[in-house]
Amino acid sequence: MSMQLRKLCGALALALAWAPAFAADVPKDAPKAEAKEAAKEEPKEAKKDAPKVGSPFPALDGFSLEGKLPDTKGKVVIVDFWATWCPPCAKALPMFKELHEKYADRGVVIVAVNVDEEQKDVEAFLKKLPLPFAVVRDVTEKLQKALDLDGLPVTYIVDRQGTIRMIHDGFAGDETKKEYIAWLEELLK
């Protein structure tokens, strides 16, 4: 599954990098052939037992994650899945540092779940960008499979009772940050 995530993330990064160049050459009133083709494709079926918004988030300690898990009981928890080879993931991590600084004292815990195959890649990345919150690695891919992940980054916001309140795919800079802040403020009331 990690290889699938790697390919998907790489394709997304490439598409985002080249999109402005191609968009400049397309007239605004041009037909949307890509949209028509995409509409023909069937959406991916989610696993029937994969947790969704409104369902309990699985207990992290049941997945043999590599690294030290923080105490999440009674806390609002952000669980972010990321990889060192994923450009949107790397762009999102500084935002999570900001959220940690702003909300840790109010009961928010961030757990960054890395999906890299090699620990040395994670260590090298974290030397360049140290993170002040828990970083664990899903070596066995059990958590990724339980959540039916098929792309990165993916972020879950879980309320104090352990219920998934939001699932967010991707990272859109300030727009994503504003969405997370709105959810955190609501859950911390």
Domains defined along the chain, listed by start: 2-187 (3.40.30.10)
pLDDT at residue 10 is higher than 60: no
9 is catalytic: no
Q: What backbone torsions phi and psi does residue 42 show, to the nearest 5 degrees?
A: -80, 135
Percent of the chain with pLDDT over 70: 75
Mean pLDDT of 162-178: 97
Pick the more confident residue, 34 or 1.
1
Q: Which of 5, 77, 86, 139 is catalytic?
A: 86
Mean pLDDT of 52-71: 97
86 is catalytic: yes
Q: Which of 77, 89, 90, 112 is catalytic?
A: 89
* Model confidence pLDDT, tens digit, residues 81-128: 999 999 999 999 999 999 999 999 999 999 999 999 999 999 999 999
Q: What confidence category does residue 25 fall into, taking pLDDT thresholds of 50, 70 and 90? A: very low
Which of 82, 85, 145 is closest to 114 using CA atoms?
A: 82
Q: What's residue 15's pLDDT? A: 43
Give the three-state DSSP class for 189: coil
Q: What's residue 39's pLDDT? A: 34
Pick the more confident residue, 96 or 42.
96
d(CA 107, CA 129) in angstroms, rounded, equals: 24
Q: How many CB atoms lie within 10 A of CB 109?
A: 21
pTM of the model: 0.78
pLDDT at residue 29 is higher than 50: no
Mean pLDDT of the chain: 83
